[in-house]
Structure 1
């Protein structure tokens, strides 16, 4: 496959060879319009962590920024640590998606996710709660930070 073929995205919801996962389409981020890639599989069920502690990981759109905040607190955020540790096809820039990024996945590639469980986001709701998405019905809600939920890493790169 040549470089041009690698940079031509597949249909949304399909695996993008060489990019580490499932193509989620385009989203606007602080750095510009980016391609979104969801890992092909979950990396287990993990807790958000730091129950009772408020962090600055409150972005509803930028999971990469949230994840950087969370993993700066070593050992305190199992879901963020698991997502950031994920690698695929040579890409090691995965992170725990923000609530808006998970909702984007539900909107455009819901068949790529487990409808039976909730997916944890990197977006903190409060010192005691974090946002999650239920893919079966598309619920955006929040739950106790200590509760384990599925984790699906995501990465992005400029268009």
Structure 2
């Protein structure tokens, strides 16, 4: 029998930030597309290029919706996106990456600050965003660079 991934979380059952939830660490509550959600950081660490430089991926340019970005990336052949989805997670968007940085600054999660982390938000056909969790800054670079990706999961709060 396969284990079914948790699909929602009840507001009354949310743990404190930094505590275990749905296979990861509960980062924070946030709103996405009119739905309140729980952002969860997974322990897995992926590595690879964002995608093909010079190719604009339709549907991967949301600043806030990392799951939609990651699905578009995977459909275009991004190996790290496919791996993130196989973990029942996704690569965080710019917004979700900044929420992770806030949780790191509050001492609630651990994120490597010796390597740069890809975010799923695409800037153009040539560039995608990444985050440096050491200094907390957000910037972009060419898509073929080798970087880490730290998958997250997002559950609707009921």
Which residue, out of 115, 120, 123, partners 2:121? 123
**Counterpart check, 1:24 vs 2:19:** no
Distance 2:142 2:15 in 1: 37
Q: Secondary structure at the match of 1:54?
A: coil
What is the TM-score normalised by the length of structure 1? 0.83
The corresponding residue for 1:96 is: 91
1:13 corresponds to 2:18:
yes
Which runs of at least 4 in structure 1 moved beyond 3 Å after TM superposition?
Answer: 4-7
- Output aligned runs, 1:7-156, within 5 Å: 8-16=13-21, 19-42=22-45, 44-56=46-58, 57-73=60-76, 76-86=77-87, 92=88, 94-110=89-105, 111-156=109-154
Could you list the runs of 5+ residues in structure 1 that have no partner in the other structure? 87-91
TM-score (norm 2): 0.84
How big is each residue's C-alpha offset from its partner over 1:115-148, in whole Å with a ceiling of 9 and x where there is no partner? 1111101110111110011000001000110011
Gaps of 5+ in 2: 1-8
Structure 2 residue matching 1:112: 3-state secondary structure: coil
CA contact (8 A) 1:24 1:37 kept: yes
| Alpha-carbon distance in structure 2 between the residues aligned to 1:52 and 1:26 | 35
Partner of 2:155: 157
CA gap of 1:79–1:157, structure 2 versus 1, over 3 A, is same
SS in structure 1 at match of 2:53: coil
Indicate if the aligned counterparts of 1:15 and 1:40 stay in contact, CA closer than 8 A.
Answer: no
Deviation at 1:31, TM superposition (A): 5.0
Q: 2:6: which partner in 1?
A: none
**1:13 CA displacement:** 2.1
CA RMSD of aligned residues (A): 2.0
